[in-house]
Amino acid sequence: MTVIKRKISLFFLLDVIACVSPIGIFFGRIANFINGELVGKTTNVFWGVVFPKIDNFARHPSQLYEAFLEGLILLIIMNLFLFKKKYKTGTCSYMFLIFYGCFRIFSESFREPDAQVGYLFNLVSMGTFLSIFMVLVGAIIFLKKNDI
């Protein structure tokens, strides 16, 4: 088997991944909702959903919040950046990290933490902690790519 080497920028490949990932995230979160996984915190809002496999309390449909923000909205944002006239390779890569991280931090406030982990330092969920890290990495790449 022969391997053909091509000179393709790493950031070009990451940009492609960043632009199509929201589609997978969207369908993954819809599947989480259908399967009653990654449930939200209990709530009194009228759109609360009862997941009978979990309990009989109304809960935030956090999976749908994530599907909307991390799927649809992020897809639109990525494509707005991608189709700019003066697009710079790597922009979608760091913007994905920043926006996904921010959307995830927001969504985590409506979601129950993972049962096996709970809250880190009795303050933040693992998802929030990792999302903060993603935002920081995205900001560092932004600063490096734009020579700031």
Q: Is the pTM of this model over 0.85?
A: yes
In a domain, 45, yes or no: yes
Residue-level pLDDT at 4: 54
In a domain, 38, yes or no: yes
Residue-level pLDDT at 5: 66
pLDDT, tens digit (0-9, with 9 covering 90-100), for 29-72: 999 999 999 899 999 999 999 999 989 999 999 999 999 999 99
Tokens of residue 79, six digits: 């494509």
Place of tokens 């979990």: 54
In a domain, 3, yes or no: no
In a domain, 104, yes or no: yes
What total of structural domains would you count in the chain?
Answer: 1
pLDDT, tens digit (0-9, with 9 covering 90-100), for 78-90: 999 888 888 888 8
In a domain, 18, yes or no: yes
Phi, psi at residue 58, to the nearest 5°? -70, 135
Structural domain of 118: 10-145
Distances (CA, A) of 142 to 36, 73, 85, 95: 37, 21, 19, 8
